[in-house]
């Protein structure tokens, strides 16, 4: 597939018309709003708006949906930073650094970096998608059950990096997550496990309600406990873009995470949530200040946000060139393409190469639109944090409950959210990290189902796990990353202990 420069320029011309630009703006704005609301994910946003595109010309419809996709990926970070509620699962890793930053009065700085990192990641993703689709997509097809299992194991090695102070407590949280991820249908035999006969439990703990409960509701309880004692948060909101110093400081992580995000996005079935966590772990391992992670380190925020936005470009790669969706959103987009009478895959390149290039162009433009709309909205969004906590906290609680219910209109999910809210609160009180549970819930089923699938294929012979090069490399990386993380964890512990000693000395004298 020869790259066609003149066609690319022509397609930018087609997309750069008032009508299409307007549609992209509408899509991005809708996406940011959908993404920032808990319970409404990028997948749902795109799915709900697909029917609006029936009977519209392909370019208009698809650029609107792409706008929603990109906008929602960024939108998730807004509520993650400001109210500790991941608007989308992909923003869960953003909470780890974004929320502590906001608490420290740096909401403006965090928001500006999240926007810039999203933009940067989106651009890298769109560039790789434009220039390297055929190469990347052939790599994506190499992923079978064995490779997915190895990828999940590699992802799980990040747990050390998100364990906070105590590795033991992090492991306890992770194993609890793995344990509850085994609730529901057995992935191979279909036998319902630990469901207590409840239909709602058949597919395991519902993910979004669990996420909202663990992070948002637990924080609500935490705030309620401190009513009357807490100071109103201050926030410096005069920033639209991160300072040059911040960009320079994070540049290495921005680049690396954008590449990681694009490649993980290109692997079918692995999406923004996994990409964000893996990049975050990577950033912590290679950072000069790993001890600052978890306390509002801008490097961590930059890497998770750039990774999840780069993921959208990555996920489009197998969709366009193979007709295989790269994540849940592109699976819905596949349907939208077909309704337009376009079958993504090699035939699309042969028959509608103009559409392919127009999609490249609108994906790229959507990033710029996202940057401008994000900049225009940043002060408006960030004002949320200045609202009196006595009003904001109950509002977050209501929003969380509605978000939990909205996912599949089921009251059971509201109870799940409450239960995990209480659990999260108790865990926070006793200093247990919450994100290992989440990572285990994302990767546990992936590891289990693919290991089992591999075992069915090999008729129970475990040597299949070491028979494939990509899988062996990934598992090797998992071991290396585990060793490095444990080493860096020791460094973190030593530095924190040292800091505490100096603090004690100062207070004593």
Partner 1 sequence: MKLKSMLVGVAALVAGAFSVSAMAAYPDKPVTVICPWTAGGGTDVLLRALSKAAEKHLGQTINVVNQTGGAGAIGHNAIRAARPDGYTVGMITFELNSLPPQGLVPFTWKDFDPLMRINSDPAALTVRKDAPYSTVRGFMDYAKEHPGEITIGNSAPGSVWHIAAGLAAEKTGVQVKHVPFDGAQPAVTSLVGGHIKAVAVSVAEVRGQVQAGNLKILGVMSADRDKIFPDVPTFKEQGVDVQFYTWRGLAVPKGVPANIKAKISDAYKKAFDSPEFQEFAAKASLNLAYQNAADFTKFLDQNYKDVEAVMKSLGLAKK
Q: Which of 237/407 has CB closer to partner 1?
A: 407
If phi over 0 gives left and psi between -120 and 50 gives alpha, with beta otherwise, what is residue 397?
Answer: alpha
Report which DSSP code applies to 214. Answer: I
Kindly indicate which of the ranges 3-11, 305-313, 316-324, 487-495 contains the residues binding partner 1, using the contact rule CB under 8 A.
316-324
Q: Is 17 exposed, middle or buried (0-12, 13-18, 19+ CB in 10 A)?
A: exposed
Which residues, at least 6 apart from 11, have a Cβ–Cβ distance to it below 8 Å? Answer: 354, 357, 358, 360, 361
Query: Residue 464 CB, nearest distance to partner 1 (Å)?
Result: 11
When binding is defined by CB under 8 A, the residue of 449, 472, 477, 484 that contacts partner 1 is 449
- Phi, psi of 185, deg, nearest 5: -55, 135
The tokens for 200 are: 């709602």
Kindly indicate which of the ranges 159-167, 236-244, 320-328, 430-438 contains the residues binding partner 1, using the contact rule CB under 8 A.
320-328
The alpha-helical segments, DSSP class H, found in 386-434 are 389-406, 411-429
Report which DSSP code applies to 433. Answer: -
When binding is defined by CB under 8 A, the residue of 47, 365, 414, 427 that contacts partner 1 is 47
143 binds partner 1 (CB under 8 A): yes
Site string for partner 1, 89-128 (x = CB under 8 A): ----------------------------------------
- CA–CA distance, 344 with 360 (Å, rounded to integer): 14
134 binds partner 1 (CB under 8 A): no
When binding is defined by CB under 8 A, the residue of 43, 308, 400, 416 that contacts partner 1 is 43
Hey, what's the torsion of the CAs at 93, 130, 367, 336, to 10 degrees? Answer: -80
Q: Which of 295/453 has CB closer to partner 1?
A: 453
When binding is defined by CB under 8 A, the residue of 75, 76, 121, 345 that contacts partner 1 is 345
Packing angle, helices 272-286 and 244-266, rounded to 10: 130
- CA–CA distance, 509 with 506 (Å, rounded to integer): 5
The tokens for 161 are: 């990096």
Q: What's the Cα-to-Cα distance from 347 to each of 141, 212, 356, 362, 476, rounded to whole Å?
A: 17, 41, 11, 20, 37
Query: Residue 430 CB, nearest distance to partner 1 (Å)?
Result: 32
187 binds partner 1 (CB under 8 A): yes
Site string for partner 1, 464-503 (x = CB under 8 A): ----------------------------------------
When binding is defined by CB under 8 A, the residue of 103, 144, 353, 405 that contacts partner 1 is 144
Q: Which of 162/211 has CB closer to partner 1?
A: 211
CB-based contact 184:416 (threshold 8 Å): no
Query: Residue 70 CB, nearest distance to partner 1 (Å)?
Result: 17
Q: Which of 64/173 has CB closer to partner 1?
A: 64
Pairing mode of beta strands 192-193, 184-185: antiparallel
169 binds partner 1 (CB under 8 A): no
Helix (H, G, I), strand (E, B) or coil at 185: strand
317 binds partner 1 (CB under 8 A): no
194 binds partner 1 (CB under 8 A): no
Total residues at interface with partner 1 (CB under 8 A): 54
User: Of 443, 422, 403, 425, which is closest to residue 222 (Cα–Cα)?
Assistant: 425
b or e along 214-246 (b: 16 or more beta carbons within 10 Å of the residue's beta carbon)?
bbbbbbbbbbeeeeeeeeebebebebbbbeeeb
When binding is defined by CB under 8 A, the residue of 283, 316, 332, 382 that contacts partner 1 is 332
Q: What's the Cα-to-Cα distance from 384 to each of 83, 108, 378, rounded to whole Å?
A: 8, 12, 10
155 binds partner 1 (CB under 8 A): no
Report which DSSP code applies to 166. Answer: -
* Binding residues among 389-418 for partner 1 as defined by CB under 8 A: 408-410
Q: Which of 114/151 has CB closer to partner 1?
A: 151
Q: Which of 14/458 has CB closer to partner 1?
A: 458
48 binds partner 1 (CB under 8 A): yes
When binding is defined by CB under 8 A, the residue of 26, 192, 286, 493 that contacts partner 1 is 192
3-state helix, strand and coil shares in percent for the chain, rounded to the nearest 5: 80, 0, 20
Query: Residue 321 CB, nearest distance to partner 1 (Å)?
Result: 10
Query: Residue 153 CB, nearest distance to partner 1 (Å)?
Result: 18
Q: Which of 113/348 has CB closer to partner 1?
A: 348
CB-based contact 425:218 (threshold 8 Å): yes
Q: Which of 49/173 has CB closer to partner 1?
A: 49
190 binds partner 1 (CB under 8 A): yes
Residues in contact with partner 1 by the rule CB under 8 A: 43-44, 46-48, 50-51, 54-55, 141-146, 185-190, 192, 199-200, 202-203, 206, 268-269, 322-325, 331-332, 334-335, 338-341, 343-347, 408-410, 449, 453, 456-457, 459
């Amino acid at each position: 597939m020869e790259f066609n420069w003149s066609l690319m320029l022509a397609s930018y011309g087609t997309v750069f018309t008032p009508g299409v630009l307007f549609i992209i703006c509408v899509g991005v704005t809708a996406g940011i709003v959908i993404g920032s609301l808990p319970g409404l994910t990028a997948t749902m946003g795109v799915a709900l708006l697909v029917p609006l595109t029936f009977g519209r010309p392909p370019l208009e419809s698809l650029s609107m949906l792409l706008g929603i996709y990109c906008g929602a990926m960024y939108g998730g970070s807004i509520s993650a930073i400001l109210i500790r509620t991941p608007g989308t699962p992909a923003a869960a890793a953003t909470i780890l650094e974004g929320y502590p930053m906001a608490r420290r009065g740096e909401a403006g700085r965090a928001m500006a970096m999240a926007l810039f990192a999203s933009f940067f990641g989106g651009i890298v993703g769109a560039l790789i998608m434009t220039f390297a689709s055929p190469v990347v997509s052939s790599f994506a097809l190499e992923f079978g059950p064995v490779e997915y299992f190895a990828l999940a194991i590699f992802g799980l090695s990040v747990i050390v990096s998100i364990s906070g102070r105590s590795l033991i407590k992090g492991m306890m949280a992770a194993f609890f997550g793995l344990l509850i991820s085994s609730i529901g249908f057995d992935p191979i035999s279909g036998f319902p496990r630990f469901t207590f006969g409840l239909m709602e439990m058949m597919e395991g703990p519902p993910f979004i309600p669990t996420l909202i409960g663990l992070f948002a509701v637990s924080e609500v309880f935490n705030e309620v406990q401190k009513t009357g004692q807490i100071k109103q948060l201050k926030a410096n909101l005069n920033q639209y873009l991160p300072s040059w110093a911040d960009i320079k400081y994070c540049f290495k992580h921005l680049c690396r995470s954008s590449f990681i995000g694009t490649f993980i996005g290109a692997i079918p079935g692995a999406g923004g949530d996994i990409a964000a966590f893996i990049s975050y772990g990577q950033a912590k391992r290679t950072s000069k200040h790993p001890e600052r992670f978890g306390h509002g380190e801008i490097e961590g925020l930059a890497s998770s946000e750039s990774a999840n936005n780069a993921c959208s470009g990555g996920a489009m790669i197998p969709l366009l060139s193979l007709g295989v969706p790269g994540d849940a959103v592109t699976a819905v987009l596949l349907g939208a393409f077909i309704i337009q009478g376009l079958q993504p895959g090699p035939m699309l390149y042969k028959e509608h190469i103009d559409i392919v290039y127009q999609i490249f162009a609108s994906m790229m433009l959507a990033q710029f639109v996202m940057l401008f709309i994000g900049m225009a909205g940043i002060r408006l969004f960030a004002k949320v944090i200045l609202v009196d906590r006595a009003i904001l906290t109950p509002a977050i609680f209501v929003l969380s409950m509605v978000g939990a219910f909205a996912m599949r209109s089921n009251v059971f999910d509201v109870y799940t959210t409450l239960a995990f809210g209480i659990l999260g609160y108790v865990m926070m009180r006793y200093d247990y990290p919450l994100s290992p549970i989440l990572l285990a819930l994302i990767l546990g089923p992936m590891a289990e189902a693919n290991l089992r699938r591999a075992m069915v294929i090999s008729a129970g012979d475990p040597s299949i796990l070491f028979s494939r090069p990509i899988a062996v490399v990934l598992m090797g990386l998992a071991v290396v990353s585990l060793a490095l993380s444990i080493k860096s964890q020791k460094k973190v512990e030593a530095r924190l202990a040292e800091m505490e000693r100096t603090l004690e000395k100062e207070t004593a004298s």
